Amino acid sequence: MTTPGPRITALAGGIGGARFLRGLLTHLAAAYPDGAGSSTAEVTVIGNTGDDIWMHGVKVCPDLDTVMYTLGGGINEDQGWGRLDETYTVKAELAAYGAAPDWFGLGDRDLATHLVRTRMLTAGVPLSEVTARLCERWNPGVRLIPMSDQRVETHVLVDDPTGALTDDGSPVHTAIHFQEWWVRYRASLPAHGFVLMGLDEARPAPGVLESIRDADIVVLPPSNPVVSIGTILSVPGIREAMRSTSAPVVGLAPIIATAPVRGMADACLAAIGVETSPTAVAAHYGARSSGGILDGWLIDTVDAESVDCTEALGITTVAVPLLMTDLPATAAMAAAALDLADRVKARP
């Protein structure tokens, strides 16, 4: 007799989120076995699409693909993005033609995903259905839904890369696509803010609000709180759904001590005036009891002295090891997140 597992909904960005989800599925398979190597739990992932970019005539969806490849077994493990056993012949040929951009690592295998996606999008198939069709090949073990079927793109306000100055000698600010900032400039250009192009016309994709409303637990993995989780929360209706769901909302800090575990969360947090610390990120999400979305927060053991000040925000806080050094460590983090959700539910 198998025990029915929980319905879990996670808001996820790219590499950190995908790796956490792999640990979550591992833990669920052990805690709620279905007798066939998986679990009786149901996991829905709401994926960030603000990183998406059109280039060379195809639509690239980095965060959706990182989740799909990581959980489907096709990811380049060292990079955390793109395909295993990748080659870059098409990229070299495009560069030989001088076809811009040449700074983005478009792999040959990965290109097939973008061609299949683009052909469906061009035929009028919404991104959420396209994503479901691509997942039929990869079987990620979760239901992966883009945050919106409408195009939303994160652009970064930076000092103009040409060094242009205004009359009073201050740098000219210009907006560049997130991927250009992150990949071409390695986030080295100081970011002054983020603009989500298309946000006003964006609506949650089919199933997104229901997956938050009907969840037993909602999880915020250690993804970038600004350009990944923050972007998803910006889609009209999603933050409200997070505030009103009866499910406990628990998050995992993407910052350990004063450094992001990976990526460029510190550059993004600085751009919006948030300190790079686990407590500051929790405060940025806000306690649900005071208008925010968080009920529980996991911080790393090195930050254990921050438990009290995060609890003082009204967020139940526990310190556990948060470095995803390997699958067992990540599965233990996922178990701690589900335990924290139980603790939140038991709160008076």
First to last CA, the chain: 32
Residue 211 binding ligand FO1, by CB under 6 A: no
Q: Give the neighbor-by-neighbor strand order of the sheet with 191-197.
A: 173-177, 153-159, 191-197
Q: Is 52 in the site for ligand FO1 (CB under 6 A)?
A: no
Q: 273: which 2 tokens?
A: 């005036």
Min. distance of Cβ 188 from ligand FO1 in angstroms?
12
Map residue 220 onto helix, strand or coil: strand
Span 270-329, contacts to ligand FO1 by CB under 6 A: none
Residue 19 or 284 with smaller CB distance to ligand FO1 = 19
In angstroms, the Cα distances linking 236 to 159, 197, 231, 232, 325 are 29, 13, 10, 9, 35
Q: Which residue, 58 or 208, is less far from ligand FO1 as judged by CB?
A: 58
The two three-digit tokens of residue 36, written as one number: 């066939």
Which 141-200 positions form the footprint of ligand FO1 (CB under 6 A)? 179, 182-183
Choosing from 5, 23, 74, 82, the residue that interacts with ligand FO1 (CB under 6 A) is 82
Of 208, 267, 215, nearest to 239 (Cα)?
208
Task: Specify the stretch interacting with ligand FO1 by CB under 6 A; choose among 8-16, 22-30, 137-145, 273-281.
Answer: 8-16
Nearer to ligand FO1, 194 or 316 (CB): 194
Q: For residues 63 and 149, which CB has a smaller minimum distance to ligand FO1 in the complex?
A: 63
Q: Which residues of 220-248 are buried (b: 16+ CB within 10 A; e: fewer)?
A: bbbbbbbbbbbbbbbbeebbebbeebebb
Rounded distance between C-alpha atoms, residue 169 and residue 320, angstroms: 48
CB of 22 vs ligand FO1, minimal distance in Å: 16
> Which is closer to ligand FO1, CB of 202 or CB of 287?
202
**Nearer CB in complex with ligand FO1: 81/285:** 81
Compose the 83-122 pattern: x for residues touching ligand FO1 by CB under 6 A, - for all others: ---------------------xx----x------------
Question: How far is the C-alpha of 180 from the C-alpha of 230, rounded, in Å?
Answer: 19
Tokens of 161: 């890369």
Distance from C-alpha of 65 to C-alpha of 63, rounded to nearest angstrom: 5
Query: Distance between CA atoms of 62 and 81, rounded to whole angstroms?
Result: 7
Q: Does 216 bind ligand FO1 (CB under 6 A)?
A: no
Interface pick for ligand FO1 out of 14, 221, 225, 248 (rule CB under 6 A):
14
Q: Closest distance between ligand FO1 and the C-beta of residue 87, in Å? A: 13
User: Please, which residue, 14 or 221, has the CB nearer to ligand FO1?
Assistant: 14
Footprint on this chain of ligand FO1 (rule: CB under 6 A): 13-15, 51, 60, 62-63, 65, 81-82, 104-105, 110, 179, 182-183
